[in-house]
Amino acid sequence: MVEHHPVHNSEVYLLGLAPRPSVPPPSPPSPVTPREVEQNSVIEELCLDDADGAEDPAGIDSLAQQRISGAIHVLSTEATALRSLTCLYKTDATAAQGFNAAVETITRHKGDKGKLIIIGVGKSGLIGRKLVATFNSLGVQATFLHPTEALHGDLGKIGKHDVVLFITFSGKTRELLTLLPHLDETLPVIVLTSHTRPEACEISRQRPGTILVPAPIHESEIASFGVSAPTTSTTVALALGDALAVVSSQELHATVTSVFAKNHPGGAIGESFDKPRQIRDLAVPLVEVPIWPESSGEACGADILKLGYESQSGWARVGDAIASPGRIRRLDTGRLTLKLRDIPDLVVERVEWIRIHADTRVSQAAQWLREPLISLEPGEAGAYDEDSILAVMDNGEVVGVLEASQLLSWQE
């Protein structure tokens, strides 16, 4: 039997806009409201540095300079569009409420019951396909559905627990409006569009209760570039879709990093996860450790063995005590029928867990844990061994657990 010493206070902390190319004269501007004047003044403060103070790169001819100037104009315009969108979500209640409702709807099924169906046409469809890949890599089940294919049999992809996300800048894409009546009335619908009010969006008007996620641009693409090719509009749609994916994933998963690493083992990104860099990357999320139900009475050794065996993590919990995979593996068959109170080395009470900050570097934690004695409080010390349980802390809460043996054997 390994004697485990109570631990106290043992947390570890590791702590330029350029001149625009000439374009056809724009149509007479619409009257500007006081609210728009106020918002535009905020946007101007957020814009990139004024080009008047910028210097032209030395050693390039006039044609190259013209190309660079054009590129800077495009980049500055799209950056301004994103800054404008940021300002909208900071100041506009409708936009904030729509985003909140969208995340709530996407994450309403915490298990694997539902998925996100993203639908779009043309450039919006391409943005949708990219967002599907992002959602899936972050552990939020998603799939793309072309509206025309949906009308020819692919409606069967949509389940009763799913959520539909339309991407349409105009809010009145013909293919989407044609599909809309064929969607079950109980199916939640989100529309990512340029409109900032539901009454201005045709999809929202035809489908009351649609969740509006505004993605407007600060000026038309014709005014910016002299052509209505989707540029700033697709940039803001992609950025807002990424925001939905990241926030939804953070709400669904205790540690998004481990989920992403599991779903992205290949390429340079996958290689970057080969060696966990922080304790949070090694830890098993506490929410994924199954708990012995109190209604089943007092657990015995066999109950904990079965609970750990059926768990993907190999861990098991009983109230505030926890059994690690190593302890469960070493459970003697002669103790299977004994109650937990008679198997003192199987579970470890919470007060005996070694607390360590989630952001601690793995290499530093390993070195710290190998010290034969760790000073706890003046005049008190405790020894740690491979059976010790590490409680991974984030914002004062236990978010994961880890066997000390993983660190004691750690090598760079």
**359 vs 34: CA distance, rounded Å:** 47
Would you state the pLDDT for residue 261?
63
Nearest of 345, 326, 349 to residue 405 by alpha carbon:
326
Domain annotation for the chain: domains and CATH numbers: 91-252 (3.40.50.10490), 271-408 (3.10.580)
Tell me what the mean pLDDT of segment 141-164 comes to.
93
**175 vs 166: CA distance, rounded Å:** 11
- Give the pLDDT band of residue 138 (cuts 50, 70, 90): confident
Residue pair 107/135 in contact (Cβ under 8 Å)? The answer is: no
Residue 286 confidence (pLDDT) above 60: yes
User: For the chain, how big is the Rg over CA atoms in Å?
Assistant: 28
For residue 293, the tally of other CB atoms under 10 A from its CB is 10
Would you state the pLDDT for residue 265?
54
Would you state the pLDDT for residue 58?
62
Would you state the pLDDT for residue 32?
42
Would you state the pLDDT for residue 270?
53
**249 vs 255: CA distance, rounded Å:** 9
**Looking at per-residue confidence, does 334 or 21 come out higher?**
334
- Give the pLDDT band of residue 61 (cuts 50, 70, 90): confident
Would you state the pLDDT for residue 113?
79
Tell me what the mean pLDDT of segment 51-60 comes to.
58
Q: Determine the residue type at 212.
A: L
Would you state the pLDDT for residue 257?
62
- Give the pLDDT band of residue 137 (cuts 50, 70, 90): confident
Residue 310 confidence (pLDDT) above 50: yes
pLDDT tens track for 183-200 = 999 999 999 999 999 999
Least confident of 98-112, 119-133, 136-150: 98-112
**Looking at per-residue confidence, does 92 or 7 come out higher?**
92
CA 150 to chain CA mean position, Å: 28
- Give the pLDDT band of residue 51 (cuts 50, 70, 90): very low
pLDDT tens track for 239-280 = 999 999 999 988 887 666 666 566 555 555 555 555 567 888
**Looking at per-residue confidence, does 93 or 112 come out higher?**
93
Would you state the pLDDT for residue 6?
40
Would you state the pLDDT for residue 109?
75
3-state secondary structure labels for all residues of 197-236: CHHHCHHHHHCCCCEEEECCCCCCHHHHHCCCCCCHHHHH
Tell me what the mean pLDDT of segment 3-17 comes to.
36
**289 vs 314: CA distance, rounded Å:** 8
Tell me what the mean pLDDT of segment 301-311 comes to.
91
What rounded mean pLDDT belongs to the chain? 81
Q: What is the DSSP letter of 338?
A: S
Residue 110 confidence (pLDDT) above 90: no
Tell me what the mean pLDDT of segment 188-216 comes to.
97
Would you state the pLDDT for residue 139?
86
Residue 219 confidence (pLDDT) above 50: yes
Residue pair 340/300 in contact (Cβ under 8 Å)? The answer is: yes
- Give the pLDDT band of residue 106 (cuts 50, 70, 90): very high
- Give the pLDDT band of residue 174 (cuts 50, 70, 90): very high
Model confidence pTM above 0.75: no
CA dihedral 169, 173, 176, 178 (to 10 degrees): 160
Tell me what the mean pLDDT of segment 154-171 comes to.
94
Each residue of 299-337: b (16+ CB within 10 Å) or e? Answer: bbbebbbbbbeebebbbbbbeebbbbbebbeebeeebee
pLDDT tens track for 360-393 = 988 888 888 776 444 444 333 345 677 889 999 9
Q: How big, in percent rounded to 5, are the helix, strand and coil portions of the chain?
A: 45, 15, 40
